[in-house]
Structure 1
Amino acid sequence: MRMTSGAFHDAMYLADQCPTAMIFVPSIGGISHNAAEKTDPQDLFLGVQALAYAVTVLANA
Structure 2
Amino acid sequence: MKEKLSLNEKIDLMKRITFLENVVATLCKHLETFSAAYKVDCEALDTRLDQLMNINKEQ
* Greater helix share, structure number: 2
Q: Which has the greater radius of gyration?
A: 2
Asked if these proteins are the same fold (TM beyond 0.5), I'd say no
TM-score w.r.t. structure 1 length? 0.36
TM-score w.r.t. structure 2 length? 0.37
Q: Considering Cα pairs closer than 8 Å and 6+ residues apart, tell me whether 1 or 2 has the greater RCO.
A: 1
